[in-house]
Amino acid sequence: MYLNTQQSKMLADLCAVMASDVSKGQLLQTLAQPLAQFMQADHLVSRQWQASTNRYVISASYNVKHSRIRAYEDHFQFCDPITPRMRAMRTPARVSDVCSEQELEGSEFYNDHLRQDGIHWGVNLYAYRGDASLGDLVIYRAKGREDFSRQDMAYLNIIAPVFTAALSRLETEESTKTAKVGHDEVELRRFLTGRCQLSQREADVVLLCLNGCSDKYIARQLNIGFTTVRYHLGHAFEKLGVQGRNKLPAHIGQLLHQA
């Protein structure tokens, strides 16, 4: 396997991202674009398996329309012929390794979903801790391009253990931090933006608060001003009916218990 100078730098930068001290959701979103570019891909999504609901939720994406993400979460994951085969392999694999082109192009999943965005070639990378799925990366190229090569797969096999270790570390840290309210980040976000009627940005700020992040750290991570963080926090506290960030975990835990 050969890496030129630019590829070596890109790979080193990807490893640095995976070693960074951020939330799991932030890591996945930060990783999406540079990893897609490193793999010379057109689209990328990262999914989180929810065992409690037996379905996937898309945690991060690159160059994928929000409407397409919603369509996958609401319908197309249930007629996806590829994922069950790829998950069973536990190692990076190409769609073309588990599904013939004829079978793929004859499926509803391809014709009514993937083809709508010109998607044809794909590769999946799964992260597991024992039998527990930590997350995955689904990387796509358009139909007019070439399938992922053996060299591309060699790159992913280098990235896979680093990616898995990063998700495992962050999952452990976030499980400890969110144990006070008894729910994972995806469930909390849905609760905050649904029942509690927080905006997506207010939910971003609240989730980082629950993880013990300072206002300055939140501003840096969300690329917004310090005063904007305070603005969103003020609105979130008002909607939640809580006085101050120190009381936030216990208050949200109480709201969840009442739901």
Segments of the chain assigned to CATH 1.10.10.10: 185-258
Note if the pTM is more than 0.75: no
From-to residues of CATH 3.30.450.40 in the chain: 5-176
Residue 180: band (very low, low, confident or very high) from pLDDT cuts 50, 70, 90:
low
Q: 5-176 adopts what CATH topology?
A: Beta-Lactamase (3.30.450)
pLDDT averaged over every residue in the chain: 88
For the ranges 11-15, 131-135, 181-185, 205-209, the lowest mean pLDDT is seen at 181-185
DSSP state of 89: H
Name the pLDDT band for 54 (thresholds 50, 70, 90).
Answer: confident
The pair of structure tokens assigned to 141 is: 């190229």
Cα distance between residue 184 and residue 77, in whole Å: 21
Token pair in block for residue 194: 């649904």
- 84-100: average pLDDT: 92
Give the burial string for 43-71 (b: 16+ CB within 10 Å, else e).
Answer: bbbbbbbeeeeeebbbbbbbebeeebeee
Domain 185-258 in CATH 3.40.50.720: no
Single-letter amino acid, residue 231: Y
DSSP 111-159: HHTGGGGTEEEEEEEEEEETTEEEEEEEEEEETTSPPPPHHHHHHHHHH
Read off the DSSP letter of residue 76. G
Rounded Cα–Cα distance for residues 223 and 153 (Å): 33
